Structure 1
């Protein structure tokens, strides 16, 4: 990116795509476009409509800086400070796990179940909320719902609070710092949802460099990756209303084990839902103390 070169949007994208590819960066073209869009404050369509637009020196310098960060395997979402989830833009930082498309399946599945039950004003609990993407998306859809979100990280809760305000649900969402259910003793909810840490400890060092930049606490699921599923399922019924729903996102190959943990605690395994790649990704457990109203 020499200063003497008359860089246009098109030429800089071509150069950056090749540079990322040479450095082994996944999705080189997409990452180049997202980062340049971020620097210019425009959407990606703008790049194609203005392919021949020259870049100013300050824009080139700012883009050069983020390209260096990406080559060092900093996730794009941390560089831009934003990630889309369920059609909403969420603030993210290195304090929180980056929301992923597979997690949208968890949200969509729970919303569909609630719609089928005609629950007027469900009370929701999100354990390990991180950025708040799961529960904020649900509250954004369910205008009458109220929510509680807990996380052990105070820094994560600050991000979640900002996102709740951004999407107009802060008045219906209470955030607590705590471990699992410690902050909600004596309360009950119609739905408990969680995307807990589920990477087995031995597998963490083998994760992609970008993933290893995310918070260790949000990744480490213990020796077999199931620690948090055990802890949550063992006591969840005390925090669910009769007939309530416990919904988990799970890692690849974990669905059957998590379902069995639910059965051991007298939950009905209502569904196991696959992600876009055909991998079992969501486990729904139903409290059996009374029939679910239809």
Structure 2
């Protein structure tokens, strides 16, 4: 599962007809990025699927078309694009505008924490903050902050609502001696997760389970549970932008107040945590609702570079 976009207007936006681009008018990677930004602005696209603004998304699409790692864009920004490459870039830009599908679906790729992952319409586009928090709050360096001790001593991790499997993979890489169980109720999402697990060579450490939250796990306990569950409330579901409506609704819908799944996780997590373990859970903008529903819980809210109060930590002993 992954970060959800903010609600936005849904329908009735006319899309400007694509202007004709003459031969040689756009030459460099930056030229195509500038053109894409203009087209995206005209179409009033929404950005919340791995890129947060039109410039970043344009650079992402150009780089993917040219088979460049995101870190290579600056190096080649002023390089000229061939005519054939230019046609492919322009076609991709127009597909983004005309379909309003997330860019990740158009290229079947998303990047998280510097790693590539396959994605398609069978699963939500991952954009969780939890990957960043694993690095910032579960470190092993002398100056690192760690909520769970030495990452090398973590032996078991559970990823609930795994979706495309990205967080399970990031957790397996971050905790080198841990086995990871990843659960999702969607057969389609798990097919995408299986592909990503295989692509990253982690079949021996990550086990995928189909089922409803803890149901397929028996009485197993974990040092760490992570989850990015469905948490969009009814109002948010009604106002999802077109980009988000291209994703599986199951991955968004958190019930009337957005907390249906979160409540169940909190109710059952203690029975599946080791005594010194804890739960790391992302809930978007549901902090006020959650604190009102569970005033007795000492939730620790963790911020990232781009978020504030969207992910909480709670130790097993406090559940």
Q: Do the structures match in fold with TM over 0.5?
A: yes
Structure 1's 33 and 244: CA in aligned 2 closer, same or farther, altered over 3 A? closer
Contact kept in structure 2, 1:193 and 1:248, CA below 8 Å: yes
**How far did 1:140 drift?**
0.6
Cα deviation 1:97-155 (Å, max 9, x = unaligned): 22225333443366244652566242111110011111210111211011100001111
Match of 2:12 in 1: none
1:37 corresponding residue in structure 2: 63
Distance in 2 (CA, whole Å) between partners of 1:33 and 1:136 is 25
CA distance in 2, matches of 1:195, 1:73: 24
**Residues 227, 106 of structure 1: alpha-carbon distance in 2 compared, 3 angstrom cutoff:** farther
Q: 1:115-264 alignment to 2 at 5 Å? A: 116=149, 120-254=153-287, 257=290, 261=294, 263=296
User: CA offset at residue 251 of structure 1?
Assistant: 1.8
Per the TM alignment, residue 255 of structure 1 is displaced from its structure 2 partner at its CA by 5.7
Q: Which moved more, 1:173-182 or 1:14-23?
A: 14-23
Q: Give the aligned CA root-mean-square deviation in angstroms.
A: 2.8
1:226 Cα deviation after fit: 0.3
Higher relative contact order (CA closer than 8 Å, sequence separation 6+): 2
Q: Residues 161-215 of structure 1, C-alpha deviation per residue, up to 9 Å, x if partnerless?
A: 2222222322111101111111111211121111110000221121232222221
Q: Which stretch of structure 1 is more off in the superposition, 23-32 or 166-175? A: 23-32
Distance 2:152 2:74 in 1: 45
Q: Aligned to 2:230, what secondary structure does the other structure show?
A: coil
Structure number with the higher helix fraction is 1
TM-score, with length taken from structure 2: 0.79
CA distance in 1, matches of 2:201, 2:181: 15
Deviation (angstroms), 1:238 = 1.7
1:49 aligns with 2:76: yes
Other structure's SS at 1:116 match:
coil
Q: Is the 8 A contact 1:229 1:258 kept in 2?
A: no
Determine the C-alpha separation between the residues in 2 that align with 1:256 and 1:160.
Answer: 31
Unaligned runs of 5+ in 2: 1-18, 48-52, 140-145
Q: Which stretches of structure 1, 4 residues or more, deviate above 6 A after TM superposition? A: none
Contact 1:258 1:283 in 2 (8 A): no
SS at match of 1:183: helix
Match of 1:16 among 7, 16, 36: 36
What TM-score does the superposition give when structure 1 sets the normalisation length? 0.85
Structure 1: gaps (5+ residues): none
Number of residues paired by the alignment? Answer: 285
CA distance in 2, matches of 1:90, 1:259: 36
Residue number in structure 2 paired with 1:286: 315
Partner of 1:171, secondary structure, is coil
